[in-house]
Structure 1
Amino acid sequence: MNGTIDEARRARVARKAALDCVPCLSRAALDAARLATRSESVQEAIVGETLFHLAMADAGATPRMLAREVSEVVRTRSRISDPYFDLRNVHRAAARALLPEVRARIAGARDPLEEALRLSAVANVVGRTVLRSHDSDAVEAVLRSALSNRVEVDETAELAARLRRARSMVLRAANAGEIVWDFLILEQLSHCSCRVVVAGAPMLGDALRADALEAGADATAEIVECDDAALESGAGGAGEATRAAIEEADLVLCKGHALVDVVGTMAPGRCWFLFVPVCAAWAARFGLSADAAVVAAQRTLEISRREDRRGE
């Protein structure tokens, strides 16, 4: 995919994706409301205001933009600045419980860097249940099951070769639990200057600066805080710092698939995605099976071109 995406096509793709995400975002609002408060009246207010925001959303709003609105409603109505704090701790604890096993697999692999990349990709599956898994045993079970998953779109060898030649890279983190495994990639890249992009404010299960530090980022990477919605819309602030980091890096590793078009245009030919589709609708959008794990270059995914052809 080239570095320019037609804006009308981008809006069409974004809107279709956003429509597919409305039911899950509505459910996420209820789950987050129950995490934030025991007051049924406040929970009702959170869900009601969320439904209003989703109904009135701009036609060009992306799923990440809508998710940010959901999180802002939860924080405002519950009067809790970080309603996901305990949840992120649970997810990190679950990932850490499996860390000895994961490290052993990497150490015993024919190519440790390739193994670290594949394990990072399969760990992205926790994004499917991030608000519904409230105890470490449940999250650990999800992650343990993921260890046996096959990477369906596997361009890991090419990515590992490029990482070994890179002088700088950016890792855009996803959920707070899987970031514990993500840093096992960075441990293989002592020759490379690394920046890790995390969420600038609490949003669902997204990793924050504190999560990156707890996972060991201060020893391996510089942390950059970002607002994905600002990055997508072109607004300034935290989005600008991330944009600059992405544009300067030799390679960009993006956990999750929400920013395929956006980040791809900033780093054409240099952007790779590691993920498990968050749902069947997103899997179909990429032409994947529902449980596929992916380590692939942005050019391989071509989400905008796929959607453009389907819309004709």
Structure 2
Amino acid sequence: MKTYLDCIPCFLRQALEMARMSSSDPAIHEHVLREVLSWVSHMDMNVPPPVMARRIHRYLKKLTNNPDPYQEVKLQQMTLALKLAEEFRAKIKHSPWPFGWAARLAIGANVIDSGINVDISETAVRHTLQLALEEDLIGDLVELEREVQSANEVLYLADNAGEIVFDRLLIERIKPAKVTVVVRGAPILNDATIKEAQMAGLHEIATIISSGVDAPGILLDEASPELKTAWERANIIIAKGQGNFETLWGINRPIYFLFKVKCAVVAKHVGWPVGTFMAIKNQPKECFQSAPEPASW
């Protein structure tokens, strides 16, 4: 997915938020914004948005000498998610369709996204998780379940801290031993790294590898050797979040994109409004349709 003009205000907002998180000096805030404005005036709009996001975050981390500005935010999000997960695990266990409920909750948890909202509350997370169980979903979870259960190897591309706890609830409904979970190669925004994956206990049930990339998405030409190998071996790929959607949409692989539409640019690209829960397979926009749930739903 290319970068659109409407992505530029988001770059500026993220840059200012991160500058303020890293320093209380208004002079640094102004300096950062001027630098970013200079970059975007010359950027290649044909590359996906996570490429510019990475440049901004690399610059700010170096300028402030802080390799992980969102460390405390991620810890808070992980603590909240671990608290909520046991409650929702019980709901999954007693649901009429455990895989479907787990998938919906994993999609709902994509709301824990500091690129959109740094200060999301427990109330907001609970509300979105409940909506994910109740509202219409675009895509076909029945087909997704069929494909992951028949696959020999499943590649699961994680997105955010906190969210990754709910990813575990979905992975538990596959056969975890055949799942390889991919996390970011270095801290960026609140995206999950190996540290957060281990906090979620994923190392106890599945294989965890690094993408080798410090962008909020998957850039295959820069991917780690482990990811390149797993990418080729996988029968089915699950890609969580908008960043992975932005960098991988249109690539000729069997990818299911699971995310909540959280910005107008992505909404326009997929043809569904902000707030929509998505579980779409890599295919042309005109093929999108809402699939029926099982009768027991």
* TM bracket, shorter-chain basis: 0.7 to 0.9
Tell me which residue corresponds to 1:144.
Answer: 126
CA distance in 1, matches of 2:265, 2:127: 22
Shift of 1:241: 3.5
The answer on whether the counterparts of 2:81 and 2:163 sit within 8 Å (CA) in structure 1 is: yes
Tell me which residue corresponds to 2:7.
Answer: 21
Tell me which residue corresponds to 2:230.
Answer: 245
Aligned with 1:14: secondary structure?
coil
Shift of 1:301: 4.3
Tell me which residue corresponds to 1:295.
Answer: 279
What is the total number of aligned residue pairs between the two structures?
Answer: 283
The answer on whether the counterparts of 1:256 and 1:273 sit within 8 Å (CA) in structure 2 is: yes
Tell me which residue corresponds to 1:310.
Answer: none
Q: Which structure 2 residue ranges, 5 or more long, are not aligned?
A: 288-297
- Higher helix content, 1 or 2: 1
Q: Which structure 1 residue ranges, 5 or more long, are not aligned?
A: 1-12, 304-312
**RMSD (Å) for aligned C-alpha atoms:** 2.4
Shift of 1:121: 0.8
> Cα distance 1:262–1:302, how it changes in 2: closer, same or farther (>3 A)?
farther
> Cα distance 1:118–1:232, how it changes in 2: closer, same or farther (>3 A)?
closer
Q: TM-score, normalised by structure 2?
A: 0.86
> Cα distance 1:291–1:232, how it changes in 2: closer, same or farther (>3 A)?
closer
> Cα distance 1:252–1:302, how it changes in 2: closer, same or farther (>3 A)?
farther
> Cα distance 1:302–1:275, how it changes in 2: closer, same or farther (>3 A)?
farther
The answer on whether the counterparts of 2:79 and 2:162 sit within 8 Å (CA) in structure 1 is: yes
Tell me which residue corresponds to 1:178.
Answer: 163
> Cα distance 1:130–1:223, how it changes in 2: closer, same or farther (>3 A)?
farther
CA distance in 2, matches of 1:210, 1:256: 19
Q: TM-score, normalised by structure 1?
A: 0.83
Identity among equivalent positions (%) equals 28
> Cα distance 1:302–1:22, how it changes in 2: closer, same or farther (>3 A)?
farther
1:122-159 deviation per Cα after TM superposition (whole angstroms, max 9, x unaligned): 111222665531xxxx4322210112222420411111
Shift of 1:237: 5.0
Aligned positions of 1:1-312 closer than 5 A: 14-16=2-4, 19-127=5-113, 130-133=116-119, 138-149=120-131, 150-190=135-175, 192-226=177-211, 227=213, 235-236=221-222, 238=224, 240-260=225-245, 262-263=247-248, 268=253, 270-299=254-283, 301=285
Shift of 1:233: 5.8
The answer on whether the counterparts of 1:118 and 1:151 sit within 8 Å (CA) in structure 2 is: no
